[in-house]
Amino acid sequence: MDRRQLLRVAATAVALGSPARVFAQTPGPGPVMSALSAYMSAAGARALPAEMTEQAKYHLLDTLAAMISGSELPPGQAAQRYISERGAKGAMTVVASDLTAGPADAALANGVMAHADETDDSHNESRSHPGCSVVPAALAAGEEFGIDGATLLRAVTLGYDVGTRVVMAMGGADFSYASSLSTHSITGTFGAAAAASCAAGLDAQQMRWALDYTAQQSSGFIAWRRDTDHIEKAFVFAGMPARNGVTSALLVKTGWNGVDDIFSGADNFFAAYAPKAQPDRLIEKLGERYEIARTDIKKWTVGSPIQAPLDGIEAIHGKKPFEADQVRRVTVRLAPSVAKVVDNRDIPDICLQHMVAVMLLDKTVSFRGAHDKPRMQDAAALRQRAKVNLVYDEELAKLLPVRVTVVEIELSDGSLLTERITAVRGTPRNPMTRAEVIDKSRDLTAPVLGRDKSDKLIETVLGIESVADIRSLRPLVQRG
């Protein structure tokens, strides 16, 4: 920009009553954005390693199951009510219903259902739940453009890689503790946009513009912690990010352009949200380290701090079987910051004492068992709950962010059984088997869809590469 142009812009700004601030045009994307957008644009045609293909199938299946089970919970019912009354204008699938909607509204509804409770996956380093926004966005855009099953897996995997890296570049868990912004929403929005843009087949320049519109829509802050019904939380974690990500992809697909590098230059995303960010982390080991493989799948459909205690009880019972009436006392030791999240809560799936009681009585915790609120007043459950002692253990706090749990069960014959859990089942250090993922998915979907359709859905997702058009999944994920 020469002197004459500079003066003209300044004069125009003054005439409009705006500060005479001049924003220089950047010559093009920086090296980080160039590498990132090139990787993103090639993702739809890039074959995944066999191990990552398997992981992507697990997370796709787990998230679909979370949507289907979540359809019967209050957030899921609210999402369907919105579509029925205001959003049923389009041909995209709304899971576990007979409704359809436009791509953005379908992504919104399916996202809310996916995070209707604490069933979906989670990524620790970015403090997020990637699947509940990435998968709904990939499905909605994938249906819009008629992609095949292999492309769906690649789009989903890309979403996990991009969304989580944005927050890790911002500072990861440290950023989440220091900021009021919701890392769950930021990861979800960028992950959803990457997945939807992959399904839309955007080229490298279009990917950069899609990231620009995504940054403008990245919002959400931790006031969701005051939400008592999980509806706003489902919107912030999943529904809003999925909708916004799809919107970014569709805007650019229809010809909108934008800023060529929203991650660098004047007033960029990181300068606005995380001035101490490390943008290079956006492309750190991209194509080598797949974040979908570093994302937890919950074995138990309960709050995260209760996962390890249930693992511990199951392990003890496997070594020495016992009945609930033989138990004199159960002691669970957790780090204080972890323990307070689940200490005597009034919602069953995040109440440790009640979930331990259910585990003692049923020898497992099913989705139904974790969400049976009237059972919290059942006499048998209350008898077992009275035996549970939750200890806030400062020694375990020293091991965070690794959540170590110690479970002690004292039997009526005086024997003391102890288990120390250092790697929760479903985490990358202790992953679930294919059979366990199938069992969880069936537990979540069969009560809603019926056993035959549930089994067919599981079989189809685990062989998704043979699906020529993902629109054919609709009969398997809807009722009727």
**Which residues are bridge partners to 176 per DSSP?**
none
Q: How far is CA 230 from CA 118, 242, 282, in A?
A: 10, 17, 31
Residue 9 pLDDT > 80, yes or no?
no
- Cβ neighbour number for residue 400 with a 10 Å cutoff: 13
Residue 230: the pLDDT is: 86
Backbone angles phi, psi at 400, to 5 degrees: -60, 145
pLDDT mean over 445-453: 96
Relative to beta strand 327-334, strand 100-101 is unpaired
Q: How much of the chain exceeds pLDDT 70, in percent?
A: 94
Residue 8: the pLDDT is: 52
Mind giving me the DSSP string for 316-365? Answer: HHHHS---GGGEEEEEEEE-HHHHHHHSS-SSGGG-HHHHHHHHHHHSS-
What's the CATH fold of domain 31-294?
2-methylcitrate dehydratase PrpD (1.10.4100)
Residue 257 pLDDT > 90, yes or no?
yes
**Between 306 and 26, whose confidence is greater?**
306
Residue 1 pLDDT > 80, yes or no?
no
The C-alpha angle 29, 32, 37, rounded to 5 degrees, equals 70
Which pLDDT tens digit goes with each residue over 128-146? 999 999 999 999 999 999 9
pLDDT mean over 404-433: 96
Contact 86, 140 (CB under 8 A): no
pLDDT range class, residue 413, cuts 50, 70, 90: very high
Residue 15: the pLDDT is: 44
Cα–Cα distance measured from residue 263 to residue 258, given in angstroms and rounded to the nearest whole number:
13
pLDDT mean over 72-90: 94
pLDDT mean over 456-468: 98
Q: Which amino acid is at 234?
A: A
pLDDT mean over 12-35: 63
Q: How much of the chain exceeds pLDDT 90, in percent?
A: 87
Cα–Cα distance measured from residue 76 to residue 80, given in angstroms and rounded to the nearest whole number:
6
Residue 449: the pLDDT is: 97
pLDDT mean over 326-347: 94
Residue 13: the pLDDT is: 42
Which pLDDT tens digit goes with each residue over 50-64? 999 999 999 999 999
Domain with CATH 1.10.4100.10 in the chain: 31-294
- Cβ neighbour number for residue 151 with a 10 Å cutoff: 23
Cα–Cα distance measured from residue 459 to residue 109, given in angstroms and rounded to the nearest whole number:
25
Q: Residue 377 is encoded by which pair of tokens?
A: 């007043």
Cα–Cα distance measured from residue 104 to residue 98, given in angstroms and rounded to the nearest whole number:
17
Q: Strand (E) positions, 229-273?
A: none
Per the prediction, the chain carries an average pLDDT of 93
pLDDT range class, residue 26, cuts 50, 70, 90: low
Q: Residue 165 is encoded by which pair of tokens?
A: 């890296």
Q: How far apart are the first and last CA of the chain?
A: 63
Q: Which amino acid is at 422?
A: T
- Cβ neighbour number for residue 469 with a 10 Å cutoff: 13
Residue 365 pLDDT > 90, yes or no?
yes
Residue with tokens 């990524």: 123
Residue 401: the pLDDT is: 78
Which residues have C-beta within 8 Å of that of residue 327, sequence separation ≥ 6?
360, 384, 387, 409, 410, 411, 412
Residue 242 pLDDT > 90, yes or no?
yes
Cα–Cα distance measured from residue 341 to residue 166, given in angstroms and rounded to the nearest whole number:
27
Contact 168, 109 (CB under 8 A): no
Residue 19 pLDDT > 50, yes or no?
no
pLDDT range class, residue 310, cuts 50, 70, 90: very high
**Which residues are bridge partners to 100 per DSSP?**
93
CATH code of the domain made up of 304-421? 3.30.1330.120
Residue 345: exposed, middle, or buried by beta-carbon count in 10 A (0-12, 13-18, 19+)? middle
pLDDT range class, residue 347, cuts 50, 70, 90: confident
Q: Residue 449 is encoded by which pair of tokens?
A: 């869809």
Which pLDDT tens digit goes with each residue over 173-231? 889 889 999 999 999 999 999 999 999 999 999 999 999 999 999 999 989 888 878 89
Cα–Cα distance measured from residue 18 to residue 177, given in angstroms and rounded to the nearest whole number:
36
Residue with tokens 């202790």: 430
pLDDT mean over 72-83: 96
Residue 18 pLDDT > 70, yes or no?
no
Domain with CATH 3.30.1330.120 in the chain: 304-421
Backbone angles phi, psi at 344, to 5 degrees: 50, 45
The C-alpha angle 85, 191, 197, rounded to 5 degrees, equals 80
